[in-house]
Amino acid sequence: MLKLVDIVKRYTAGGTNIDALRGVSINFRKSEFVAILGPSGCGKTTMLNIIGGLDRYTSGDLVIGGRSTKEYTDADWDNYRNRSIGFVFQSYNLIPHQSVLANVELAMTLSGVSKSERRRRAKEALERVGLGDQLKKRPTQLSGGQMQRVAIARALVNNPEILLADEPTGALDTKTSVQVLEILKEISRDRLVIMVTHNPDLANRYATRIINLLDGKVTGDSNPYDGDEKQPEVKPKKKRRQKTSMSFFTALNLSLDNLMTKRARTLLTSFAGSIGIIGIALILALSTGVQHYIDEVQRDTLSSYPITIEDEQADINSIMAALGEVGKSRTGSSEPVHGGDAIYSDASMYELFNAVFNPEVTKNDLKSFKEYLDAELAKKPGSGGLRDVVSSVQYLYRVRFDTYVKSPEGDWVNTDMSDAFAALSPSMSRQASSMRSQFSMIRLWQELMPGQDGQLISDMIYDQFELVSGDWPQDYDEVVLILNKNNEISDLAFYSLGQMTGDEVREILSAVISEETIEVGTRRLDYEDALGITFRLLAACDYYTDSDGDGIWSSIKDDKDALALRVGSGLELRISGIIRPKEDATATAMTGIFGYTHKLTEYLIEYTESSPVVLAQKAEENANFDILTGLPFVIEEAENPTDEYKAERVREYFDSLDNVEKAKLYSKIVSEPSEEYLSAALEQYSAQYTTRDSMEEAVAQAYGMDTESVKAYLASYSDDELRGMIREQLTTIIKQQYAAQAEERIKEIMTTPSDEELAAVKAQITAQFVSRDVKVAYVMADWSKKTGMPAAEIMAYLGSLSDAELDALVDELATEQAREYYASMAQPYTPEGYAKVAAVFDAEYGSETDTATLALYYDLYMPSEVSESTLEDNLKTFGAVDPAMPRAINIYASTFENKDAIADEIKKYNDGVSEEQQIVYTDYVALLMSGITGIINAISYGLIVFVSISLVVSSIMIGIITYISVLERTKEIGILRSLGASKRDISRVFNAETLIVGFAAGAMGIGISLLLCIPISAIIHKLSGVTAINAFIKPMHAVTLVLISMTLTLIAGIIPSRIAANKDPVEA
């Protein structure tokens, strides 16, 4: 059955080999009581551990049931210990946190015995050793003899073939020892019992065979057995053994019982592990609360905001995408595209600027889409499609109008404050212009949302606003004044109502511009007074008149008298009612101050269409005629004009110019050097910069920098690039010098006297020369000053001249002095000066100028002969629109959820039409809310990452505590291994412990977080004033965080559990 063949066990300690067993060979019978005797250190326990599979022999062989154990795997040894071996130790080795019954059941759990069978066999084993009434007690509640009997019961419960007892009576008194040995003797009747003892008397009394060991060798055997007496040796057959395995529930139970014995430490560990969970849970609770609030705002209020489809739709998504891609690789790949040897640029600036300043603009065919919408809305309710998901559709047109109100001074003033800005002092014009552009973005007048089926005002407006006084508008000339919830309107609105003077507004504007502080009181206006206010409306077409009757129309905006007359006869609008948002309205569809109905829009479209200026522009004879400039829109015959045509048109143009215009054009022509001159000058100047040093020196001088700095800056430039830079600078300098020289020449022309002017001045000079002596004195004075000749020599020379020669000399000198005098007195930019330049212009570019030159001047200097506007532009200026072609369409959903339904319907429409008719739009609200949600998520994720550090720290701490538990439960590990537990089973025990701690930490963290959500929500309500934001934890988040806690603790316990699994069971 059991046979030791030349067993050698060698230990190595400090480089020295120690043989605990030296060639031990023993053959055991199937049933006998064997006592191993010998002094301490002789190898008794070592041999017992080898027989029990707790230790491995160095050489030799251990034959079990005729099978050599040389080929045994770890699983075979685990199975052998569990099913064939029962251990009884001197120190009992019971698990203290398990009951007596559980200690005995433990071996069977590894064998896969059912729970009921385990319970039955454990009770029978305990009753066999006399402990049937101690099942629920813990080992610490038993005496030493009782604990040893529990150990015997545990060893017997799996019905092992071999029972190994290591000093089973070593810690017992004599009476108890006898009781234990009687039990062992009884057991040996049907199985092999091997006992190690130091007591020869007990061995001689109870053992049927005594083997003596000394220094690792067998020195005596009272009843040897050679194995040949009863059965022949047969060739062993390899049997397939059922593996032992501890269920996860058993491991969980063991760990739970262990943790319950250390409740305080378990709670503190769980609390430490829960800190990170608490942080993440609170962040998620806040994020969830805010997101829930956003969702509620969307659901409750954002249905008021329409899906807007414009005739020209810029792609906002491309701008957002460009913003998001700034700083990212252009390739979209995380792989490097450059070497690490320098700094490289990407195209972020270009892509961003291109997206912002040149956005992709899509033209929507709103005419076709309007036809589709009208057909859908004409369907009966319940027929599906847009009819059932839309509460209102609003068509917006480029209807242009201004409104005027009587000021307290009695004058008509524009309600947009433009008159107040115009009256500011010139010194404030720059700041006022900036402020005026900002005021222009404030919406004063807004169309009230229409309802379905011809309803003048949408039910949504009635739901959001209450009527304070008066009546809702019923016709095109009635408007409502819109207050806020506090019955307030802005100062701007008071001005628009004619309740503030222009001086009051200018005082406020001047104070703002001058950064002064003034007192601005609260104004009050009674409802009755407000309802009595009227306005005058001027459509865009009302500003134009054909005053001369010549078919050329002009604007009257700058003619105060004409404008006042036109305003006085304009359409009268009156305030019919005053409305304000209801208390429960969280958002409203109206942002203006004055609300009018779509009837006014329809009136203005019809009024403009029939206005004189629009009819004149649409007249057949004016189809190609700009009635504002008198120029044609297109000149068909001049699409490809000949040089002769160009020359003729230029001559006509030159002839039509006055002297000043000719002088300016002449200056423009002569200030631009010809290509030949520019090329020659460049070659001349470039010859000075043939080397890199000379070019760098030139750049340094041009920019006023030191040469070394310039060289460092230009180091990356090639010679060709640097040469190109020099040529660019030289070109600019040459053009500037040429223009300056041309200006000097023009001044010279202006200040050069004509023959008449020169004769007049010379006549004044020569009028004093009445005699020869005066003439001689005049010449002598000039020569003496210029030449320094002695007076006697000059006098002698002049005296030798005849009268004719002297007169010629005087005339020459007088002419010279006349020129100098005129130059010192003449001014260049005078009518006379312009006339002189014009004369030069006529002489150089008159009828003698060749056709090619004049054709070139036609291309360069001839003003446009056609209008810069178009027929469509003029009609837009006059405010004319086509009712079938709105500029935008607002589609209001009946509920927030129906916004998606509308988007689906638009998609269906796009799928059924050509690409040119497809609709592109941007849901700005969804874009905005997604941006806010993205920011909240980014902040939440950042905080979660930050708080997760505490999770890592707590996980490390749990790993350390688990390792401490491994050290504390070393004895338990040895017991489990002796009962047949595998390394995996040991790992499972400690993994179960970490999972329990992780679950406790996660559950505790969620529980504490739920409690903290109450005061946190109260603080948010106090600080934000928004009571709708409540921090709460979603069940999914709670479960996920508990699982994360368990996962992290499991990971943290992997190393300690592996350490536990690899512990030597002998040492344990």
| Residues 162 and 278 both lie in one domain | no
Share of the chain above pLDDT 70, in %: 80
Q: How far apart are the first and last CA of the chain?
A: 28
| Residues 661 and 612 both lie in one domain | no
Question: Distance between CA 273 and CA 174 in Å, rounded?
Answer: 51
Residue pair 34/194 in contact by the 8 Å Cβ criterion: yes
What beta strand segments (E) does 859-918 contain? 888-893
pLDDT tier for residue 631 given thresholds of 50, 70 and 90: confident
> What pLDDT does 232 receive?
40
Which contacts qualify for 435-438: CB closer than 8 Å, 24 or more apart? 435/509, 435/512, 435/513
Nearest Cα to Cα of residue 899 among 306, 483, 400, 454: 306
Residue 450 lies in a domain: yes
Query: Which whole number is the average pLDDT over 129-149?
Result: 83
Q: Helices (DSSP H) in 129-173: which residue ranges?
A: 144-156
| Residues 267 and 178 both lie in one domain | no
Tokens of 471: 């009546």
Distances (CA, A) of 432 to 242, 424, 428, 451, 514: 96, 8, 6, 41, 11
Instruction: Give the pairing of strands 192-196 and 32-37.
Output: parallel
Question: Distance between CA 997 and CA 995 in Å, rounded?
Answer: 5
What is the b/e burial string over 625-634, where b = at least 16 CB atoms within 10 angstroms of the residue's CB? bbbbbeebbe
| Residues 649 and 613 both lie in one domain | no
Residue 234 lies in a domain: yes
Look at 326 and 195; give whichever has higher pLDDT: 195
> What pLDDT does 340 receive?
64
In DSSP terms, 34 is beta-bridged to: 194, 209
| Residues 448 and 590 both lie in one domain | yes
Distances (CA, A) of 261 to 257, 271, 638: 7, 17, 106
pTM comes to 0.50
Ramachandran angles phi, psi of 67, nearest 5°: -115, 130
Question: Distance between CA 976 and CA 972 in Å, rounded?
Answer: 6
Nearest Cα to Cα of residue 85 among 53, 128, 121, 45: 53
* Domain end call among 731, 752, 773: 752
Question: Distance between CA 411 and CA 172 in Å, rounded?
Answer: 122
Ramachandran angles phi, psi of 869, nearest 5°: -95, 180
| Residues 586 and 678 both lie in one domain | no
What does R_g of the chain's alpha carbons equal in angstroms?
A: 55
Whether residue 813 is predicted with pLDDT greater than 60 in this model: the reply is yes
Residue 327 lies in a domain: no
Position 518: which residue type?
A: I
Residue with tokens 């699409």: 639
Residue 9 lies in a domain: yes
Least confidently predicted of 130-144, 410-424, 727-741, 1031-1045? 410-424
pLDDT tier for residue 934 given thresholds of 50, 70 and 90: low
Count of CB atoms situated within 10 Å of the CB of 34: 25
Share of the chain above pLDDT 90, in %: 16
HSE at residue 41, side-chain half, CA atoms within 13 A, is 3
Residue 382 lies in a domain: no
Residue pair 574/529 in contact by the 8 Å Cβ criterion: no
| Residues 233 and 265 both lie in one domain | no
| Residues 144 and 275 both lie in one domain | no
CB proximity list for 721: less than 8 A, separation 6 or greater:
none
Distances (CA, A) of 9 to 17, 212, 449, 543, 810: 10, 17, 99, 118, 147
Distances (CA, A) of 902 to 392, 898, 915: 12, 6, 20
DSSP assignment string, 198-234: S-HHHHHHH-SEEEEEETTEEEEESS---S-SSS---
Taking each helix axis as running N to C, give the angle between helix 263-301 and helix 248-260, from 0 to 180 degrees, rounded to the nearest 10. Answer: 110
Nearest Cα to Cα of residue 665 among 854, 865, 867: 854
511-546 pLDDT tens trace: 766 677 777 778 899 999 999 899 999 999 999 999
Least confidently predicted of 278-282, 460-464, 795-799, 945-949? 945-949
Position 457: which residue type?
A: I
973-1028 pLDDT tens trace: 666 666 656 667 666 777 777 788 888 888 998 899 899 989 988 888 888 777 77
CA-based torsion, 153, 154, 157, 162: positive or negative: negative
Residue 29 lies in a domain: yes
Residue pair 977/986 in contact by the 8 Å Cβ criterion: yes
Give me the chain's average pLDDT, please: 80
> What pLDDT does 639 receive?
58
Residue pair 32/81 in contact by the 8 Å Cβ criterion: no
Tokens of 223: 């009843």
65-75 pLDDT tens trace: 888 898 888 77
Residue 226 lies in a domain: yes
> What pLDDT does 583 receive?
82
> What pLDDT does 704 receive?
73
Residue 766 lies in a domain: no
DSSP H or E stretch at residue 403 = strand 401-406
Question: Distance between CA 183 and CA 154 in Å, rounded?
Answer: 13
Residue with tokens 């055997």: 221
Query: Which whole number is the average pLDDT over 187-203?
Result: 86
CA 555, 561, 565 angle in degrees (round to 5)? 85
Question: Distance between CA 590 and CA 596 in Å, rounded?
Answer: 11
Question: Distance between CA 93 and CA 96 in Å, rounded?
Answer: 9
What is the b/e burial string over 131-156, where b = at least 16 CB atoms within 10 angstroms of the residue's CB? beebbeebbeebeebbbbbbbbbbbb
pLDDT tier for residue 110 given thresholds of 50, 70 and 90: low
Look at 889 and 639; give whichever has higher pLDDT: 889
Q: How does DSSP classify residue 787?
A: H
What beta strand segments (E) does 235-382 contain? 307-310, 312-314, 361-363
Range picked from 398-412, 803-817, 1041-1055 for highest mean pLDDT: 398-412
| Residues 615 and 647 both lie in one domain | no
Nearest Cα to Cα of residue 947 among 845, 822, 1016, 1041: 1041
* Domain end call among 244, 266, 289: 244
Residue 231's domain spans which residues? 2-244
Least confidently predicted of 112-121, 322-331, 764-773, 1021-1030? 322-331
Burial class (CB in 10 A: 0-12, 13-18, 19+), 263: exposed
| Residues 87 and 18 both lie in one domain | yes
| Residues 273 and 210 both lie in one domain | no
Task: Look at phi and psi of residue 215 and say left if phi exceeds 0, alpha if psi is from -120 to 50, else beta.
Answer: left
> What pLDDT does 821 receive?
67
> What pLDDT does 190 receive?
85
Q: What are the respective helix, strand and coil percentages of the chain, to the nearest 5?
A: 55, 15, 35
Whether residue 875 is predicted with pLDDT greater than 90 in this model: the reply is yes
Tokens of 901: 């339904």
CATH number at residue 6: 3.40.50.300
Question: Distance between CA 303 and CA 900 in Å, rounded?
Answer: 11
In the chain, how many domains are there?
4
Tokens of 562: 């004409």
Whether residue 586 is predicted with pLDDT greater than 60 in this model: the reply is yes
Question: Distance between CA 107 and CA 214 in Å, rounded?
Answer: 34
| Residues 644 and 607 both lie in one domain | no
Position 78: which residue type?
A: D
> What pLDDT does 52 receive?
84
Q: How does DSSP classify residue 190?
A: S
Distances (CA, A) of 476 to 462, 602, 612, 881: 19, 8, 22, 18
Nearest Cα to Cα of residue 841 among 661, 676, 673: 661
Whether residue 423 is predicted with pLDDT greater than 70 in this model: the reply is no
Question: Distance between CA 263 and CA 97 in Å, rounded?
Answer: 12
229-273 pLDDT tens trace: 554 443 444 444 455 555 666 666 666 666 666 677 777 777 777
Residue pair 385/479 in contact by the 8 Å Cβ criterion: no
* Domain end call among 727, 752, 777: 752
> What pLDDT does 541 receive?
96
Question: Distance between CA 433 and CA 427 in Å, rounded?
Answer: 11
Whether residue 336 is predicted with pLDDT greater than 70 in this model: the reply is no
Least confidently predicted of 137-141, 192-196, 380-384, 1008-1012? 380-384
